[in-house]
Structure 1
Amino acid sequence: MPNESVLRVAHEFVDSDGRSPFREWLLNIKDVRAQAKITKAIVQMESGNFGDCKAITNAHGIFEKRLHFGPGYRIYYCFDGAKLIILLAGSDKSTQRATIELAKGT
């Protein structure tokens, strides 16, 4: 992971059809408090506070941020240089494996 003291900007990955898997996942969460907590976690990541995160094995630079509320939400992301965070996808614990495969394909 890059230097923690660098301010970063988070952007969503958008595929060739103009779809953002991350945005679609976030907007499908019915609990607006959970949406707010996930958004807050992204702001914290931009400030360098990545919290509970780890590199995904055999995923070539994809990381998983684990959020400890609700059903165990996950944010999958990568870096483009030191200052840009690319939000690839999101999931909860129940769809984790399939979402990691989706993130690897982006």
Structure 2
Amino acid sequence: MYPREKSIKYYQLESGREPFLDWLNGLMKRDKVAAAAVLSRIDLLRRGSFGVFRSVGKGVLELKVSHGPGYRVYFAIVGADVVLLLAGGSKRTQEQDIRKAQSYLKEYKQHAR
């Protein structure tokens, strides 16, 4: 049996900004190779192959990207076939990135009711 494809959604703030895409666009300006590695991991998520990931609590999952200074992608599964990309960061900013991602997911769930 093959993994089921997932839809990729980006968490959007009330202002219309998308924190994950803001982070990814900044990364593209600094390190195109790392940004390509992140996009490759997202494509694997879309295809239902999560690779190495872990729970960081409150429904948020962390995907490690094996390039650069320990880049991370924070996401949640919101429905059978939907991956919600919340935030991105590096090992250096990991704790604050996790807190932000958890806050974003909480807000998303409150508005999804």
Asked if structure 1 preserves the Cα contact closer than 8 Å seen for 2:9 and 2:82, the reply is yes
Shift of 1:52: 1.1
Alignment partners' CA distance in 2, 1:44 and 1:9:
11
Higher helix share: 2
Structure 2 residue runs of 5 or longer lacking an equivalent are 105-113
Residue identity in the other structure for 2:47:
S
Shift of 1:82: 1.2
Alignment partners' CA distance in 1, 2:66 and 2:35:
13
Partner of 2:107: none
Partner of 1:10: 8
Structure 1 residue runs of 5 or longer lacking an equivalent are none
Partner of 2:103: 105
Partner of 1:51: 51
Alignment partners' CA distance in 2, 1:69 and 1:32:
11
Asked if structure 1 preserves the Cα contact closer than 8 Å seen for 2:10 and 2:20, the reply is yes
Alignment partners' CA distance in 1, 2:80 and 2:55:
16
Asked if structure 2 preserves the Cα contact closer than 8 Å seen for 1:6 and 1:82, the reply is no
Asked if structure 1 preserves the Cα contact closer than 8 Å seen for 2:3 and 2:48, the reply is yes
Shift of 1:54: 0.6
Structure 1: 4+ residue segments shifted above 4 A: none
> What is the TM-score when the length of structure 2 is the normalising length?
0.85
Figure out how many residues of one structure are paired with residues of the other and give that number: 101
Partner of 1:92: 90
Partner of 1:28: 26
> What is the TM-score when the length of structure 1 is the normalising length?
0.90
The alignment-based identity, stated in percent, is 32
Alignment partners' CA distance in 1, 2:89 and 2:6:
23
Partner of 2:38: 38
Pairwise CA RMSD of aligned residues? 1.1
